[in-house]
Amino acid sequence: MDYKELANLIFPNVKDSSYYEEKYPERNLKEGAMVVRFAPSPTGFVHIGGIFTSVICSKVAKQTDGVFILRIEDTDQKREVENGVTGIIDALKKFDLKPDEGMIDETNSFGDYGPYKQSQRKEIYQSFAKKLIEEKKAYPCFCKQEDLDNMRKKQEDAKLRPGYYGAWATCRNLGLDEIERRIKNGEEYIIRFKSPGNPEKKIKHHDVIKGNIDFPENDQDIVIIKSDGLPTYHFAHVVDDHLMRTTHVIRGDEWLSSLPIHIQLFQALGVKIPKYAHIAPIMKEENGAKRKLSKRKDPEAAVEYYSKEGIPADAAKEYLLNIANSNFEQWRRQNKTASIDEFELQLNKMSVSGALFDMIKLLDISKAVISRYSKEQVYEMADTWAKEYDKELQNLLEENKEYSLKILGIERGNEKPRKDIAKWSDLKDNIEYMYDNRFLNNKIDYVYQNINDQEEINKILKEYIENKFDISDDKQTWFNKIKDVAEKFGYAREVKEYKQNPENYKGHVGDVSTVIRIALTGRANTPDMYEIMQVLGKDSVNARLNKAIS
Ligand code: GLU
């Protein structure tokens, strides 16, 4: 028997690898187009780091007229959960990240380089494993777990590197006759790669993010096909990224240390090595130390967190771009209303050591993002969110859509739009007081500030409502009237006057308008009070101020 016959004995029914080379030809894309993929395992948990990787993949693909692939890596079937693929697809949809090729549900995909789920590509991997066996670059290994455990023990005792390499790789040197006999005897085996590496020698690698790195060559005869016939991550990665014609492997830097293996495998198959960009994980600061954002400890690590809180996808994406490229912030300052699609992301400007996750910053960005939405957009997004997470808010918004739109339109669409909403879960509290059927029927806890004597307050409110308030006033006239009220009761018309001679006044116009604001809304902080009154209308303003008086 020769190696070709051995390969046939092991994989009798697979097509020749040349078949796949032809089926998945080089892509016909313009110069510089990047073909990238997000390749998660369907473990049931989508980490925000996965969205980070996808944002980056989708961005560079779009920027270069390239291709963004969604590939599902389900070769470790122990870790798989039911509907895990759907979970990933839904998460990408929520963030409006649209792959150009890849899985569309648990079993189906679209694109010419599929299937895009590794368990559906078994034959393809076997075809390439067969080629390696024919070329004496891979071999069957019959070692049992027990043998491997014994070997490891001996290595530990002798203080040697653990693993299946060199003289320890016992099945590497089995004769063809013995192999044939054991296979025909029905012994279980796996396929290992015969590593040509020498760890005394170094390989040089240039990573797009990490820069130049030296590694010792790999000499481990790693498993490429497991006993269930499926490939290991290493082999699947190399075969898939070759056949999908990936130009840039963008992945988590936990894979960086496996790179010498991957480079060897590409070389053994005689195919082009893609570029690599290893992304550092998103970090979190805790007690002054940095650690990875953790699925167990940090709710914001899960993508559901963003949906539940009602943080718009645009805001989360903008935040992720912010931590991806530090020049994003400056770009945003110079392009206040531009779509993030216009920002040019650069992989080589990404952080080598991992950006810090900062919720306050994220919410600030979210406020700015929401401030750029029209009132109709706010209405639609908030209502969609409320339908799923907050029925009361949904009722509030839908009872009188026209009125709700007016509320949402306050200080919006102008040069300096309101920035008081960071997430849809804040919205109810932010607008509830504007609805008379809630405000007038509820007991309001008025917490007055500088002026807090109820009699004084009543005098101010009565004077305002009986002698001054007129819904048809323009803003200037409206404010002058509040100044009149202030003056009448001994408060300065202007803050400046008050500051110059505080002893002459009980306070200033700001104190008076705060009284009116709190009486009107039950709160000290609101958007523009003139606009609020315009939206509430004459009767509501009257009723509200009278409620505060009584
Ligand atoms: N399935 C691997 C993971 O989830 C993919 C790594 C890669 O992108 O190659 O970490």
- Percent of the chain that is helix, strand, coil (3-state, to 5): 50, 10, 35
Give Cα separations from 175 to 12, 400, 527 (angstroms): 20, 83, 83
Please count the helices (runs of H) and the strands (runs of E) in the chain. Answer: 24, 15
Could you please report the per-residue DSSP string of 96-135? T---SEEESSSS-EESTT---BGGGGHHHHHHHHHHHHHT
Whole-number Å distance, alpha carbon 163 to ligand 1 midpoint, is 23
Ligand 1 centroid–CA 254 distance in Å is 9
Atom index in ligand 1 nearest the CA of residue 241 equals 9
Query: Of all atoms in ligand 1, which is nearest to the CA of residue 255?
Result: 6
Distance 255 CA to ligand 1 centre (A): 8
Residue 34 Cα to ligand 1 middle (Å): 18
CA angle 241, 244, 250 (to 5 degrees): 45
Pick the residue whose CA is nearest to atom 10 on ligand 1.
40
Note the pLDDT of residue 82.
Answer: 86
- Say how many Å lie between the CA of residue 39 and the centre of ligand 1: 5
Helix (H, G, I), strand (E, B) or coil at 444: coil
Measure the CA–CA gap between 331 and 338, rounded to whole angstroms: 10
User: Pocket of ligand 1, candidates 237, 265, 275: which has the most ligand atoms within 8 Å of its Cβ, to mutate?
Assistant: 237
At position 284, the amino acid (one-letter code) is: K
The per-residue pLDDT for 80 is: 75
CB 258 within 8 A of CB 216: no
How much is the pTM?
0.91
Cα–Cα distance list, 351 to 312, 324, 346 (Å) = 25, 7, 11
Query: Is a pLDDT exceeding 90 seen at residue 77?
Result: no
Distance between Cα 285 and ligand 1 center (Å):
25
Q: Which of 46, 73, 118, 262 to mutate to test the pocket of ligand 1 (most atoms within 8 A of CB)?
A: 73
Q: Do the beta carbons of residue 57 and residue 38 sit within 8 Å?
A: yes
Task: Estimate the crossing angle of helix 375-389 against helix 391-399, to 10 degrees.
Answer: 140
Q: Model confidence over 261-319: pLDDT tens digits?
A: 999 999 999 999 999 999 999 999 988 899 999 999 999 999 999 999 999 999 999 99
Band of residue 508 on the pLDDT scale cut at 50, 70, 90: very high
From the alpha carbon of 254, which atom of ligand 1 is closest? 10
Of 325, 344, 482, 463, residue with least CA distance to 62: 344
Edge-to-edge order in the sheet of strand 101-103 = 35-38, 67-70, 101-103, 109-110
Residue 203: pLDDT above 80?
A: yes
Q: Where does residue 410 fall: left (phi above 0), alpha (psi -120 to 50 degrees), or beta otherwise?
A: beta
Are the C-beta atoms of 55 and 99 separated by less than 8 Å? no
Residues near ligand 1 (Cβ within 6 A): 39-41, 73, 237, 251-252, 255
Ligand 1 pocket: which of 69, 85, 251 to mutate (most atoms <8 Å of CB)?
Answer: 251
Q: How far is the CA of 40 from the centre of ligand 1 (A)?
A: 5
In the reported structure, the alpha carbon of residue 72 is separated from the centroid of ligand 1 by a whole-number distance in angstroms of 9
How many whole angstroms from 251 Cα to the centroid of ligand 1? 6
CA–CA separation, 84 and 119 (whole Å):
14
What average pLDDT score do residues 219-233 get?
A: 97
Secondary structure (3-state) at 470: coil
Burial of 259 per CB tally in 10 Å (0-12, 13-18, 19+): buried
For residue 115, whether the previous peptide bond is cis, meaning omega lies within 30 degrees of 0, is yes
- Report the alpha-carbon distance of residue 512 to residue 449 in Å, rounded: 10
Indicate whether 108 pLDDT > 90: yes
When pLDDT is averaged across residues 239-247 and rounded to a whole number, the result is 98
Report all structural domains of the chain as residue ranges with CATH numbers, in order of start: 3-13+122-279 (3.40.50.620), 286-371 (1.10.1160.10), 375-434 (no CATH), 454-549 (1.10.10.350)
Interval between CA 32 and ligand 1 midpoint (Å): 24
For 299-346, where are the alpha helices, taking DSSP H only?
303-309, 313-324, 328-334
pLDDT, tens digit (0-9, with 9 covering 90-100), for 367-415: 999 999 999 999 999 999 999 999 999 999 999 999 999 999 999 988 8
The pLDDT tens digits for 448-482 are 999 999 999 999 999 999 999 999 999 999 999 99
547: left (phi over 0), alpha (psi -120 to 50) or beta: alpha
* Residue nearest atom 2 in ligand 1 by C-alpha distance: 40
| Mean per-residue pLDDT of the chain | 96
Distance 52 CA to ligand 1 centre (A): 13
Amino acid occupying residue 237:
H
Comparing C-alpha atoms, which of 486, 47, 39 is closest to residue 293? Answer: 47
pLDDT digits (tens, 9 = 90+) for 250-259: 999 999 999 9
- Does residue 79 surpass a pLDDT of 80? no
Task: Indicate which residue's Cα is closest to atom 4 of ligand 1.
Answer: 40
Residue 300 alpha carbon to ligand 1 centre in Å:
21
- The pLDDT assigned to 413 comes to 86
For residue 50, what is the enclosing H or E element? helix 48-63
Distance CA 100, CA 208 (A): 23
The protein residue whose alpha carbon is closest to atom 3 in ligand 1 is 40
Going by CA atoms, what residue is nearest to atom 1 of ligand 1? 40
Q: What is the pLDDT of residues 411-440, one digit of tens each?
A: 998 888 999 999 999 999 999 999 999 999
Q: 279 C-alpha vs ligand 1 centroid, how far in Å?
A: 11
Among 38, 41, 248, 254, name the best residue to mutate to test ligand 1's pocket (greatest count of ligand atoms within 8 A of Cβ): 41
pLDDT at residue 337 in the model:
87
